[in-house]
Amino acid sequence: MSHAPSAALPVGHYSYDAVDRTFLKQRVAQFQDQVERRLSGALTEEEFKPLRLMNGLYLQLHAYMLRVAIPYGVLDAAQMRTLAHIARTYDRDYGHFTTRQNIQFNWIRLEDTPEILNVLADADMHAIQTSGNCIRNVTADQFAGAAADEVLDPRVYAEILRQWSTLHPEFTFLPRKFKIAISGSQQDRVAARFHDIGLIAREGDNGRPVFEVFVGGGLGRTPIIGVRLRDDLPEEDLIAYLEAILRVYNAHGRRDNIYKARIKILVQALGAEEFLSQVNAEFSAMDRARYRLPEATVEAIRARFGAPDFAPAGDAAEKLVAQRKSDHAFDAWVRTNTHAHKQPGYASVTVSCKPAGGIPGDVTSAQMDLLADLADRYSFGELRITHLQNVVLGHVRQDALYDVWQALEKNGLGEANIGFITDIVACPGLDYCALANARSIPIAQKLSSRFANADLQREIGPLRLNISGCINACGHHHAGHIGILGVDKRGEEAFQITLGGSAGGADASVGQILGSAMSEDETVDAIARIIDTYLSRRTAGERFIETCRRLGTAPFKDAAYAPA
Amino acid sequence: MDRRNSRRDAEGNSVITANRLLDGRIVWLAPNGQWKTLIQDAKLYPNSTVEEALKVRTAHAQENGLVGIYGVQVTQTASGPLPVTSRERIRAAGPTVHPDFTPDWHAPHPAPHA
Ligand code: HEM
Ligand code: SF4
């Protein structure tokens, strides 16, 4: 993996060529035509709905919602400014970053949408594969190309998968949507075991990578941890093997019942062994040469990604140490919001989109512009959206961290809370979503305010709190150490608490429901008592999730339902 | 449309709602047959007659530029009809997390093409 990509290309994302651009423009023209036919009545709503969904346009509670794809979460500063422009011009001045590393605009007009898609296409962006029963936007590690612990750059492989899956004739109408995640490091930062297919890379013997392949994981109504099909898939068989999995799914996945249509149900119904043997049979029978992924192709794709031209300052590390010593708030932020970079003298910054009492994942157009400016000045013009609804500046010189932090602080983005209880994941819930049972955002805001004290958060330590407004689990509540699920009690909102979920790595687990649903305020109080229980029962150095596993749910349940 | 919204008592009253096709915004059927953005303007139908009214209105959805026409049970209050479910109360009033985004919200500056 030695080929040095050209520095002239945009850093971090795949550079489009004329073919890609023509394709996008054609898609916009096609949608323009479909919208016109809908407005004239030539297309009924039933006929039009799947067409608009294929272009990322949903009808939500108050208006249309447009979901814009951010392939593997990476975008450049100009693209971020395009998103800011869309928020300002066509929406209400903000956007919402999602757990699929995309962005949603909540107040879009149908009549503006072709124009918006044109504006996006001019910035090499689109809303394709954000909806429908296709292979969705492939997600990847937010520290791709930067993390000290990285084996390979997952974006290159995510892009290969994107090219293979976009418009794949057999895979445009799968039984149900299909989500793939890829981690380029042994540290699973993508929740690989909660995806239809999850890939985790490691170094192979011949200098080329091999992949661990998980299949049939998912959240939603039936949360399931994916089973490992292989731990040694060679790079050159990556496409062939995924093709084989998809073929088995396409042939046998259920199309009669939407709740049983995901691949996870098929894997469970057949049993992991039978599923594996069917995939292997398909894999052996197929024309492997046709699907082979040669090293040269991988390197050609890699060459389309610009790489940063690192120029570390010799004294960056000492300067940082001095700044941290003289400013405690900055020191706290560096501790929580930066991640070790493979290049000495650099760090990756996670910008918190979770201010105290704020709406998780919402950013204003002005904040988007600021992030774009910071990316241009300090991070080679490149940004990433994380599946935990934050933003990453991948490559910041250590001696620039102080300036970055100050700029973020001034603009409501300086919260030092990554990985803490207020780094809450929340779906849009009943304030926006037509499928919701309950509002996710207000309870997130109350919890965020309740635990806003920085010392208290540090005292509690690492804790993942995830909130979904219904069982579809867009807010990953099953994978939260503490999860909150909105339910409908005869037309009124109520909330269930789950405990002990975990997204990453070999100890991935599904949270257990503690008991019956409560009102919003009761739930907030119950969570405060759960935290108190943890603080009083933990052993030295024990994290929240570890205490949950050691004690089981009983003491937390007693605390949650203790009479006030 | 969600089944939950069709729950209606024999006795109660309902209003009729839809989304506008062009911009997706929520509207309510007023007594004069116009579709208004404020639920306060909506006409009350006894639940015994609302199904019939819905049928008629749905037949005209395309020419009226509407999608997803359905009935919403309400109680009558001093400030107008109040939906019985939290979902419909939020639809009627706007997202609770943005009190500024009331149903008659307008962009402070219109979009360039508008
Ligand atoms: C507001 C419009 C949305 C609608 C209508 C919607 C709908 C759904 C539905 C129906 C499912 C369940 C699919 C299944 O199990 O087959 C689902 C799952 C999911 N959604 Fe959404 N969603 C919306 C917004 C979001 C947002 C804002 C996020 C991110 C914050 C998101 C992320 C996800 C994720 C990660 C899943 C994963 C569940 C899985 O793969 O098993 N969705 N969504
Ligand atoms: S979890 Fe439910 S409420 Fe939340 S965004 Fe998904 S579908 Fe909507």
CATH (domain of A228): 3.30.413.10
Q: What is the pLDDT of residue A19?
A: 84
The alpha-carbon gap from B32 to the nearest alpha carbon of chain A, in Å, equals: 23
Q: Which of A122, A147, A182 is the last residue of a domain?
A: A122
Closest to A433 in 3D by CA, of A484, A472, A376: A472
B47 domain-assigned: yes
Q: Which of A273, A302, A331 is the last residue of a domain?
A: A302
Number of domains making up chain A: 4
The alpha-carbon gap from A259 to the nearest alpha carbon of chain B, in Å, equals: 16
pTM of this structure = 0.91
Chain B neighbors of A487, CB-CB under 8 A: none
Nearest chain A residue to B85, by CA? A491
Q: What is the pLDDT of residue B102?
A: 86
> Pocket of ligand 2, candidates A104, A106, A427, A471: which has the most ligand atoms within 8 Å of its Cβ, to mutate?
A427
Domain that includes residue B29, residue range = 3-93
Q: What is the pLDDT of residue A7?
A: 41
Same-domain check for residues A391 and A445: no
Q: State whether the beta carbon of A61 lies less than 6 angstroms from ligand 2.
A: no
Query: What are the CA-CA distances from residue B19 to residues A74, A138, B1, B15 (Å)?
Result: 34, 32, 11, 14
Interchain CB contact of A514 with B (< 8 Å): no
Same-domain check for residues A268 and A333: no
B99 domain-assigned: no
B23 domain-assigned: yes
Same-domain check for residues A169 and A91: no
Number of domains making up chain B: 1
Cβ A139 vs Cβ A100: under 8 Å: yes
A182 domain-assigned: yes
Helices A520-537 + A544-551 axis angle, to 10: 80
B110 domain-assigned: no
What CATH number has the domain bearing residue A67? 3.90.480.20
A462 domain-assigned: yes
Nearest chain B residue to A443, by CA? B97
Residues 365-394 of A with CB under 8 A from B: none
Closest to A269 in 3D by CA, of A253, A250, A246, A293: A253
| Start-to-end CA span in chain A (Å) | 60
Nearest chain B residue to A88, by CA? B111
Same-domain check for residues A293 and A353: no
B106 domain-assigned: no
Please give the ipTM for the structure prediction.
Answer: 0.90
Same-domain check for residues A324 and A275: no
B49 domain-assigned: yes
Same-domain check for residues A343 and A385: yes
Same-domain check for residues A145 and A105: no
Report the amino acid identity of residue B66.
L
Q: Which residues line ligand 1 (CB under 6 A)?
A: A 58, 60, 65, 98-100, 104, 176, 179, 218-220, 262, 427-428, 432-433, 435, 472-474
Q: Which two tokens stand for residue A7?
A: 């520095």
Q: Which residues contact A431 (CB under 8 A, 6 or more apart)?
A: A61, A439, A440, A441, A442, B90, B95, B96, B97, B98
Q: Which residues contact B2 (CB under 8 A, 6 or more apart)?
A: A434, A435, B87
Spans of chain B, pLDDT less than 70: 1-7, 108-114
Q: How far is CA B71 from the centre of its chain?
A: 8
Q: Which of A241, A271, A302 is the last residue of a domain?
A: A302
> Pocket of ligand 1, candidates A354, A425, A472: which has the most ligand atoms within 8 Å of its Cβ, to mutate?
A472
Which is the closest atom of ligand 1 to the Cα of A258? Answer: 16
Spans of chain A, pLDDT less than 50: 1-7
- Report pLDDT digits (tens) over A58-113: 999 999 999 998 888 899 999 999 999 999 999 999 999 988 788 999 999 999 99
Same-domain check for residues A479 and A547: yes
Q: What is the pLDDT of residue B109?
A: 57
Same-domain check for residues A433 and A468: yes
Same-domain check for residues A449 and A471: yes
Cβ A346 vs Cβ A395: under 8 Å: yes
Ramachandran bin of A66, using left for φ above 0, alpha for ψ from -120 to 50, beta for the remaining angles: beta
Contact B111 A89 (CB under 8 A): yes
Q: What is the pLDDT of residue A106?
A: 95
Give the Cα separation of A454 and A457 in Å (integer).
5
Cβ A384 vs Cβ A140: under 8 Å: no
Same-domain check for residues A246 and A353: no
B38 domain-assigned: yes
Determine the distance separating the centroid of ligand 1 and the alpha carbon of A524, expressed in angstroms. 24
Cβ A524 vs Cβ A467: under 8 Å: no
Task: Report the residue count for chain A.
Answer: 564
**The A209-215 sheet, strands edge to edge:** A139-140, A180-183, A197-203, A209-215, A227-234
Q: What is the pLDDT of residue A207?
A: 84
Alpha helices in A350-389 (DSSP H): 365-378
Same-domain check for residues A148 and A294: yes
A104 domain-assigned: yes
Report the amino acid identity of residue A278.
Q
Give the Cα separation of B44 and A96 in Å (integer).
36
Give the Cα separation of B50 and A495 in Å (integer).
33
Residues A436-469 as b or e (16 or more Cβ within 10 Å = b): bbbbbbbbbbbbbebbbebeebeebbebbbbbbb
Domain that includes residue A433, residue range = 425-560
B67 domain-assigned: yes
Report the amino acid identity of residue A325.
K
Residues 77-106 of B with CB under 8 A from A: 84-87, 90-91, 94-98, 101, 105
Q: What is the pLDDT of residue A167?
A: 63
Cβ A352 vs Cβ A418: under 8 Å: yes
